[in-house]
């Protein structure tokens, strides 16, 4: 990535399914070491946008660059630099926690040893559950294990869909600490959440997506919780 280049850049992004337009002329960018939090009601197009940036679906129109690579030409290269935490954990229920990490590492060509896997589990407070099958995990434990995969990958771009879902306060603190460490290492973060408080805590900038469009964008320093809540209500109608 060239110095000064945006880690995430979308210009004029549109996505249509038949006659339904899910995204309409969406433009946004995130710099290395920056966190952009994307808020919006259900159906606003937030998850669709993340899936496009993660190369899981193709846009109908518009330009996407991730880590300097253009989506339509360099999807494989983009996947090497992106860590995507989907709303579902996409773990293998019949494998143990450490087996899930080993499988992920093998799939992504990561050179890791058993101590690396245990360290990643320890980072999310799951080392004591390394040999437990994932089908026995709570939703919060599965969420933390999904974060452990990102710890192995150390991506330059993180795309996060509701990362705090199912977590207790201790789990939330662990995830917040992990995201801060990623940013300190220069990773760009685009996070989707319904939780205005958690979003504000992790943001350098906040954008609100409504009806498939970026309705407004603000710097974190220009917002407090009350101002963000009022802004959200104004542009989405949700309370």
Q: Collapsing DSSP states into helix, strand and coil, what is residue 148?
A: helix
Reported as a pLDDT band with limits 50, 70 and 90, residue 4 is low
Which strands sit side by side in the sheet containing 8-17, from one edge to the other? Answer: 20-30, 8-17, 61-66, 69-70
| Interval 77-118: pLDDT, tens | 999 999 999 887 789 999 999 999 999 999 888 889 999 999
User: What is the model's pLDDT at position 93?
Assistant: 95
What is the residue-wise DSSP string for 104-166?
HHHHTT----HHHHHHHHHHTT-GGGTTSBGGGS-HHHHHHHHHHHHHHH--SEEEEESTTTT
Considering only residues 45 and 2, tell me which one the structure prediction assigns the higher pLDDT. Answer: 45
127-159 burial, b at 16+ Cβ within 10 Å, e below that, comes to bebbeeebeebeebbbbbbbbbbbbbbebbbbb
Task: List, in order, residues 6 or more apart from 158 with CB less than 8 Å away.
Answer: 82, 83, 84, 85, 150, 179, 182, 187, 188, 189, 190, 191
What phi and psi, each to the nearest 5 degrees, are found at residue 202? -100, 0
* Percentage, residues of the chain above pLDDT 70: 98
Q: Collapsing DSSP states into helix, strand and coil, what is residue 31?
A: coil
Q: Read off the tokens for 80.
A: 């090497």
The answer to whether residues 162 and 131 touch, using CB atoms and an 8 Å cutoff, is no
User: What is the model's pLDDT at position 2?
Assistant: 46
The single residue listed with the structure tokens 């974060």 is 147
pTM (2 d.p.): 0.91
What phi and psi, each to the nearest 5 degrees, are found at residue 85? -105, 100
Q: Collapsing DSSP states into helix, strand and coil, what is residue 19?
A: coil
| Interval 168-187: pLDDT, tens | 888 888 888 888 989 999 99
Is the pLDDT at 228 greater than 70? The verdict is yes
Q: How far is CA 230 from the centre of its chain?
A: 25
The answer to whether residues 179 and 153 touch, using CB atoms and an 8 Å cutoff, is no
Q: Read off the tokens for 58.
A: 């193709």
The C-alpha atoms of residue 177 and residue 43 are separated, in whole angstroms, by 30
Domain 8-93+156-236: CATH superfamily, name plus number: P-loop containing nucleotide triphosphate hydrolases (3.40.50.300)
The C-alpha atoms of residue 123 and residue 226 are separated, in whole angstroms, by 33
Q: Count CA within 13 A, CB hemisphere, residue 102.
A: 11
Number of neighbours of residue 229 by Cβ within 10 angstroms:
16
Is the pLDDT at 145 greater than 60? The verdict is yes
């Amino acid at each position: 990535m060239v110095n000064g280049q945006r880690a995430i850049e979308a210009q004029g992004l549109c996505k249509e399914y038949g006659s339904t337009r899910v995204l309409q002329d969406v433009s946004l960018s995130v710099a290395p070491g920056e966190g952009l939090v994307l808020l919006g009601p259900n159906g606003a197009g937030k998850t669709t946008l993340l899936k496009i940036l993660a190369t899981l679906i193709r846009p109908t129109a518009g330009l996407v660059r991730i880590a300097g690579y253009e989506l339509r030409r360099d999807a494989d290269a983009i996947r090497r630099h992106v860590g995507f935490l989907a709303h579902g954990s996409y773990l293998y229920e019949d494998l143990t926690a450490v087996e899930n990490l080993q499988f992920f590492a093998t799939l992504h060509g990561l050179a890791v040893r058993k101590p690396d896997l245990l360290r990643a589990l320890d980072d999310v407070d799951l080392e004591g559950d390394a040999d437990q099958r994932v089908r026995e995990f709570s939703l919060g434990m599965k969420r933390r294990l999904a974060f452990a995969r990102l710890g192995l990958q150390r991506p330059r771009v993180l795309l996060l869909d509701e990362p705090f879902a199912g977590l207790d306060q201790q789990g939330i603190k662990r995830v917040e600490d992990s995201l801060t460490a990623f940013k300190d290492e220069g990773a760009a973060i685009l996070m989707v959440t319904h939780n205005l408080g958690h979003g504000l805590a992790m943001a350098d900038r906040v954008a609100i997506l409504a009806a498939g469009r970026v309705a407004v964008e603000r710097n974190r320093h220009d917002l407090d919780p009350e101002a963000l809540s009022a802004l959200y209500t104004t542009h989405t109608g949700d309370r």
